[in-house]
Amino acid sequence: MSTKKIASLLAALLAVVPFAPPAAAQIQSQESAAPAGGALQEVVVTARKRNENYEDVPITVSVFTAQEIQSAGIEMPRDFIAMVPNMTLVETQNVGNSFITIRGISQARNSEPSVAVLVDGVLETNPYEFNQELYDIQQIEVLKGPQGALYGRDAIGGAIIIRTADPSDQFEATTRVGVGNGPSEKGQLSLSGPMNADGTLKYRASFNYYNTDGYINNVYLDRNADPYRDYSGRFRAVWKPGDDFSADWRLLLDRVETTAYWFVIPRSIESDPYTDFNTPGDANNTSSPIQTNNLGTDYRNVFDSALKLDWTRSYGTYTSITDYNETREIDTGDAYDFRPVTDSIAYNCPICIGATPTAAEGGPFDESQSQFIWVRTWSQELRFTSPVVNGFSWIAGGYWVHTDRFISTGNLVDRGLGVPAVYYTPIVDPTNPYATNTNVTFLADSQDNDAWAIFGEATYELTKEWELDAALRYDQDNRENTTLTPTQFLPTTAAFYGEKRYATFSATQPKGTIRYRPDDDWTFYGGWSRGFRSGGFNQTGVGAVARENDVLGVNDIFQAEIADTWEVGTKSELLDKHLSIDADVFETHSHNGYFFVYIAADSTQNLGNLSATYKGAEFSVTARPTDRLDLYGSFGYTDSRITAMADPTVIGNQAPLVSKDTINAGAQYHQPLANGLTGTVRLDYQNIGRTWWEPYNITSRNPVNLVNLRIGVQGNRWDVTAWSKNLTNTIYNAEFSPGNVGGSGFLWRALPRQYGVDFTYKFQ
């Protein structure tokens, strides 16, 4: 799309929108509506690492304030992502695997993320920690387009900035309890206040408990496949002895206990294991039930400790951010083809698993699987932020992160006696390689990585109306991979135990933006930016296995991705701030983006590279036509085309995990009741357009329509809310996971209808 066409499209959008009456507004909110009467709420954002009014920032941003988070029932990342145009989330396989797609830029299993995630200014260094319960949150910002110039190597699609609630000046406490179907129960508690007499040291402690028996039935085990339990706690201590210095220490502990690998591979004739063995999959098939014979386990532990120091002088502020993170996740469960033992392909086709066990060795068997990931990171950021002097301000800094990572994956003999967790070494029986729960396959690798970056940004107000912003960052990622797979389990003779592989990925990420504000009602902006996402290692030897199985584009190393984006957009506040309109168009050229494929031959999850172009637009409106009614809505569109890959037959196809369009809309109505009470009704609607899953476009999922409903009563210090997510009980697949080329692929069922009642009380 040429710049001229982009400008023409934007002009056409703007020409029609201002004449739409507020009552008809149907587009997504970029600013939260105030809880009581009056205009839309003013919002302060930190997108450029300084506090600014939302309208002043020349970036496409979706903002959720504390009031919006509460009224919309945002409790997990999936909840706010469902309200952002051109942004989707896939949760699958195990709790640490959640894939964000934003404007076409996606991620996959065991990959670097598509967005940078910061919590209280601290960059999350491990994508396995992202999918957490959100509680006691003050604000969430979603920035779109490459943000690597300020936020680093994984901000190729954007950035998510999460700010937890600040410690309070006086003691306060809030508790929330809830029950729901499943059955499910939740409990949350936050405590905050000063820790010394002069109030220079303050704290905030927040705790969360959530438990459910699950919502999706496993027909073979006659119990739910998806029980879930979360215990988490967060502590912040802020010391501010004066106006020129502050120290903010944050501690996070999170443990999740759930299950994994309850995939579905449909058969048209259930009694015949070979039915549809090579039939292309159907992402819309929800007729086959979950019937794994192993419930599986998934335990994830996250520990994070961060210290942020700010020292302010007359000429600027020095900031230091130090962080340590440790994330461990072990998951076990059924393996391909996710059936009871005697119904599985492995049991009925011993040659399929490369062996024909004798009767003395136990005879035919099914397979189970285990995966263990342990990641530890240490990071340090130092930066200087200048004040605004004569319209000019600047930021400069450096960043370093060290990563230790271990991963093991393997298949085990399954004769219906459960699945053991396999960590560092395979389970081997020298007298019988097919003994129950011994490893059939096993791969293990460790990584020792160091990455560093230097960055700078400068902003200059040419006039009251015009502003220029330029940023530049250089990232270098040095990676070392050690093969820890025992010799007898190596998939190729070219590899050996203790083998070290090295790779360095680096890139310069520039960004330039111009902003024009002709008056207080309108902001126009446009610019170009480059994003960088580091490459990495597949497990040792999978490249050879991929080629043997006709999987092209998968090697032992997957390359770094570079994405260049052009964007123009506008923001406005009209009708005395009762109507807000945002619109933007973009075009992104991605080189060496990721795609995922599972190779059954060695039970590995692998990344390959492809290049693609993404063209799209977003259009958002928020309206407050009366003091009691809030309306919002949005439309996002992304057209993706693969432009290069090792297999040329896919060129011109849709890129993986991209939804063609999204619609987000909703309304909230406030009604005063007797005795100072207020009643609230809120309805949220999400449409996820047609979605493709892999480069060959074997199948696409039809559009999905979801509705959430909340009805509540609020008093001075308490509220009661009845809620339902997926109110219409839409049954669909959250993911189609491709197997070998031409294979049927795996389906992961999305959550059905959930409902419950929450009660909140505030102590002061």
Q: Tell me how far apart the alpha carbons of residues 674 and 668 are, in angstroms, rounded to a whole number.
A: 20
Q: What is the pLDDT of residue 93?
A: 86
Q: Is the pLDDT of residue 747 over 90?
A: yes
102-119 confidence digits (pLDDT tens): 999 998 877 788 999 999
Please, are residues 539 and 604 in contact by the beta-carbon 8 Å criterion?
yes
Region label for 273, one of left (φ > 0), alpha (ψ between -120 and 50) or beta (otherwise):
alpha
Q: Tell me how far apart the alpha carbons of residues 177 and 590 are, in angstroms, rounded to a whole number.
A: 45
Q: Tell me how far apart the alpha carbons of residues 406 and 375 are, in angstroms, rounded to a whole number.
A: 6
312-342 confidence digits (pLDDT tens): 999 999 999 999 999 999 999 999 889 999 9
Please, are residues 489 and 545 in contact by the beta-carbon 8 Å criterion?
no
Q: Tell me how far apart the alpha carbons of residues 673 and 695 are, in angstroms, rounded to a whole number.
A: 55
Q: Is 591 exposed, middle or buried (0-12, 13-18, 19+ CB in 10 A)?
A: middle
**Tokens read off for 530:** 């480059």
Q: Is the pLDDT of residue 10 over 60?
A: no
All structural domains of the chain with their residue ranges = 3-763
Average pLDDT over residues 140-150: 93
SS3 543: helix
Range from 55-69, 122-136, 342-356 carrying the lowest mean pLDDT: 342-356
**Looking at the domain that runs over 3-763, which CATH code has it been given?**
2.40.170.20
Q: What is the pLDDT of residue 6?
A: 37
411-440 confidence digits (pLDDT tens): 999 999 999 999 999 999 999 999 999 999
**CA dihedral (206, 212, 218, 222) positive or negative:** positive
Backbone angles phi, psi at 4, to 5 degrees: -65, -40
**CA dihedral (149, 152, 155, 156) positive or negative:** positive
**CA dihedral (724, 726, 727, 729) positive or negative:** negative
Give the pTM: 0.91
Q: What is the pLDDT of residue 628?
A: 94
Q: What is the pLDDT of residue 183?
A: 96
| Of 681, 688, 683, residue with least CA distance to 666 | 683
Q: What is the pLDDT of residue 31?
A: 37
**Tokens read off for 654:** 């849709």
Distances in whole angstroms, Cα of residue 598 to Cα of each of 67, 283, 606, 746 = 42, 16, 6, 10
Range from 13-27, 229-243, 379-393, 564-578 carrying the lowest mean pLDDT: 13-27
Backbone angles phi, psi at 83, to 5 degrees: -110, 10
Q: Is the pLDDT of residue 21 over 50?
A: no
Q: What is the pLDDT of residue 548?
A: 77
500-539 confidence digits (pLDDT tens): 999 999 999 999 999 999 999 999 999 999 999 999 888 7
